[in-house]
Amino acid sequence: MMASVEFIVRIGLWFLLPPLLPGIVNRVKAWVAGRRGPPVLQLYYDLARLWRKGVVLSDLASPGFIAGPAVAWVAVAGAALLLPLGPLGSLLSFRGDVILLVYLLALARFCTAWAAMETGSSFEGMGAAREVSYAVLAEASVITAVLALSVQSGSVSLARMMEPAVGSGGVLLAAGLFTVLLAENCRVPFDDPATHLELTMIHEVMVLDHSGPPLAVILHGASMKLLLYALLLVQAVVPLGGLSFPAAVAVLAGGVLAVTVGVGLVESLLARFAFRRVPLLLTTAFLLCLFALLVAWNGGAA
């Protein structure tokens, strides 16, 4: 019974909380620009509106156009359920679960790109190509960060790996993972979610032909992915094990809020990079995670 209750609570958390993060990012951007900005709960309103709308389908699209976003959402949700939530621990933990998490995130990206190309649109094909190109370097950084955590903890289980590094190793890992978070969630300086120019968009151009509930699923999945990476970043570098339950929950929530505000500040203070500069930034993220791995390997992070 308790396991069923915990499962329902976790599902509710991952379903209800993620849309709050883009709202916070937009409010931070509005505050920096001196504007009022949209409400923090704007994405909730948008999702409710989209669920009431119909679906417009292209004559060229196969069932994969609808199945892609659904499978991608399930994959991200599955990865989220594998991730420990601070003092609450992990709902499902087993040896090698971190490998499954990485593969689920890759499956979500594949399905999103697949659905984007279903209509035969050249713009969506460009967005999918850019998304996959960025993913090549971003996934290398994620795998290197996972290796650093694994070497440090001596385990390939997420529950054990979320024992954060301190000192230089933790700082390097935090910088690398934050850069990957921006890339994986198509935020500035990699992409501008507020742009409406198809030639420069990545994530937004991939969903141009989606509407109604499928678009709602895509938007909610994107916000859930942002929360997942924020939680991964905070738990990888912030020591929660020695804190009491209320203190650990408060620190975890504060860390996620700090990461979200950081995303808003980056989007306010930086411009989007030219495409030719993106590989250099992602390579820097990879090197930061690689140096964190070397620090952990030599025992300097202990």
The angle subtended at Cα 171 by Cα 297 and Cα 136, nearest 5°, is: 75
Q: How many CB atoms lie within 10 A of CB 149?
A: 29
Question: What six digits make up the tokens of 257?
Answer: 């809020």
Question: What pLDDT score was predicted for residue 169?
Answer: 86
For residue range 27-41, list pLDDT tens digits in order.
999 999 999 989 999
Query: In this predicted model, what pLDDT tens digit does every residue of 168-202 receive, in sequence order?
Result: 789 999 999 999 999 999 999 999 888 777 777 88
Please tell me whether the peptide bond between 189 and the residue prior to it is cis, using omega within 30 degrees of 0.
Answer: yes
pTM for the structure as a whole: 0.95
Asked if the model's pLDDT at residue 302 lies above 60, the reply is no
Say which range, 145-149, 240-244, 270-274, has the weakest mean pLDDT: 240-244
Domain layout of the chain by residue ranges: 2-297
